[in-house]
Chains A and B, each alone.
Chain A
C-alpha cells in the first residue's frame, strides 16, 4: 500500500553495523558501565526484536543507535556512514531523514492534531508545511486506520490511537530504520496485538528495518530475528530467568518454563547464521 512494489535489493543488505559499542554513565566520580562491547548487524528490511532483562541496557542501546546519545567508545555505521563522528547538526539532520522513533509512551504533541503530529518531522525540516507532506501524512494516518481522526487534537485520541499516530509519525520521512522502545508496553493485550500487527504489516510493505525492544516474548516470537542483550553484551541465547517461588525459607529456585523453547529456536538460527558466515 505504502510502497507495494518494494523488494529488498540483494546487492547490499547491511543497514547497520554495530562494533564494540560501549557506554559508561559518569555521574561525578560514580561510573555505571551499561553497554560493555555490543556487536551486531541489522540487514535491510528486517524486523528484529531486542530482548533482555530490565536494566540490561536496551533503552540505552536504542538511544545511542538513534543518535540521541553518544557512546563512550566503539562505532556504528549506518547506510555506509560512520555516525559516531558526525557533528550535532549532521546527526540531527540524519535522524530526521533516516531514523524513526516509537516510544513506550506516545509522546504526541498535545497542541497539534493527529495530522499535524504526523507531518511535524517533515514540516520542521522544511520550516513549512507542504501539500506533499500533508498528503503523505494523511495517507499514513489512513494506513494506521485513523482516517476519521485526522483532525482530532492529539489529546482527544485513545491510548491505542495515539500509539498508531506515533507509528505514522515515525514513518513520515521514510526512514531506513525505525527504533521502537517497548512500543506496546503501555497497551493492553488486544491493543498491543493490533499495534504490533500494524507495525509488522507496514514493515513488510515499506521494507523499513525495525528494531524493537520488548519484554513480550509472544510478540518477539513473531519477529524475523531476536537479539538478546544481557548486562551490556549481546548473548547467543538468553540466560534462563530464575524465579523465586513463594518459599522464602527454602529459597527454592525454579527455571522459567517459557525460556527454553525460545532459546532453542533462536540459538539455532543464530548459530546457523554464524556457521554460514
Chain B
C-alpha cells in the first residue's frame, strides 16, 4: 500500500466520528443530487412520453410562402408585405416522392399521410369548431394510439364514418351510431356517422379533433391529389431534429421535429432542468464547504504532527498527498453511499406513489449516479486542495514549538 494512503486512512480512522459525519454529509448531498435527478428526469420523461407518445416526431408541411418583397419607390424605406392568398392553398403535391424518401429512412416506425382542415359541427342548436384529420384507415394508429383508446364503438374508418373524442361527444351530446353534421372550411357539407369514441387523456385530441377517412377529407377540403401534412414516428425520438433537417433538405418542404413543434413542452423542460441544476449546484457547494472546513480543522489540529514530519524531511508533496487522499476517500465513499441511498429513496417513492394511485413521476433509473459520483468526488478533492496546501506549508519550527 502506498504510504501516503496508509497515513490518510490512519487519520480518517483515528477520528471515526468526524469521518463518519463527513462521509454522511457527502452522502446526504449526493442523495439529494440523485433523487433530484431521478425526479426531474422522470418528470421530463413522463411529459415527453405524453406528448411524443401521441404526436408526430417529425411533421412535414408545405413550404411556407415567402412574403413577397415589394419594390420600393425612391426616398421610401423598403416595405415588406405578406400576402395571404386564399386561392393558393398550401399543400404537398409531390408527396409520392416524399413517401419514397421516407421509405428509405432508417428508424421510422410509423408514417401517416394526412389532410387537415377545420369545420363546424352542428347538433341541435349547438355549433362547435373542430379540427378534422383525414387519414388512411390502415394508418389510423400510426401516430396516436387511437385504436387502443377506443372507449365506445370501434376504430374502423369507412368513407362515411367519423371517430371523435369522448369529450367532444359529451359536448355535443352525441352517441355512437348517430349522425354528425359537418361543414368544412371549404363550404362542403357532409353527414357522417359516429363510429367510435376515444379517450386519450389529451385535451387537444379528445375535445377538438375528429378523424375521417382520407378520401372523405379529399372531397371535403377540395384536395384531390395533395396532402396537408405527413407525420412520422421514429424509434429514437432524440434524432428527430437530424431527421427533420435531412427531410427538409431532400424534399424542400418544411420539416419540424417534435421539440420544436411543442414550444411549451420545451420551455417546461428547460425550466425544470435549470431549477434541477441549481439544486445540484447547491449540493456540490455543500460538499465543498463541508469537506473543506472539516479538513481545515483537521490540519489545524495536526499542526504539530505535520511539523514533526517536515522536520524529519517528509516532503511537502507527501503532506499534500495525504490530505488530498483524505478528501478523495471522503468524496468517493460518501457519494457511493449517497448513490445507494438516492436509488433506494427514489425507488421507494416511485413505488409508494403508484400504490396510492397518484403517480409521482420519479424514475430511479435516471438518477445520474455516474455524474453524481464523479462530481461529488471532484468536489471533495477540490475542497481538500486548500486544507492540503495549508498543511503542506506548515512551518515545522512554529508547529514544534507550540
Interface of A toward B, CB cutoff 8 Å: 63, 66, 68-69, 88-89, 92-97, 99-101, 103, 107, 109-112, 120-121, 123-129, 169-170, 173
**CB of B311 within 8 Å of the partner chain:** yes
* CA–CA, A89 and B315, complex, Å: 7
The contact string, 1 if C-beta is below 8 Å from chain A, for chain B 310-348, is 111111101000000000000000000000000000000
**CB of B148 within 8 Å of the partner chain:** no
Q: Are B396 and A94 in contact (CB under 8 A)?
A: no
B interface size (C-beta, 8 A) = 23
* CB-based closest 3 A-B pairs: A96-B313, A95-B313, A124-B314
16 contacts between A and B (CB under 8 A): A95-B311, A95-B313, A99-B313, A100-B312, A107-B304, A107-B400, A109-B308, A110-B305, A120-B309, A121-B313, A125-B314, A125-B315, A127-B4, A128-B3, A129-B3, A173-B313
* CA–CA, A97 and B182, complex, Å: 100
Known A89-B316, A121-B312; 14 more pairs at CB < 8 Å: A68-B310, A89-B315, A92-B310, A92-B313, A93-B313, A97-B313, A101-B312, A120-B309, A124-B3, A124-B313, A127-B2, A127-B4, A128-B1, A128-B3
- How distant is A107 from chain B, measured CB to nearest CB, in Å? 4
Q: Are A111 and B14 in contact (CB under 8 A)?
A: yes
Residues of B within 8 A of A127 (CB): 2-4, 318
User: Which residue from A103, A123, A125, A128 sits with its C-beta under 8 Å from B313?
Assistant: A125
Residues of A within 8 A of B315 (CB): 89, 92-93, 124-125
Q: Which residue of B lies closest to A98 (CB)?
A: B313
User: Which residue from A103, A123, A126, A169 sits with its C-beta under 8 Å from B400?
Assistant: A103
Q: Which residue of A lies closest to B315 (CB)?
A: A92
The contact string, 1 if C-beta is below 8 Å from chain A, for chain B 279-311, is 000000000000000000000000011001111
Residues of B within 8 A of A126 (CB): 3
Residues of B within 8 A of A69 (CB): 397
Residues of B within 8 A of A107 (CB): 304-305, 308, 400
* CA–CA, A111 and B315, complex, Å: 19
Residues of B within 8 A of A94 (CB): 313
**CB of B6 within 8 Å of the partner chain:** yes
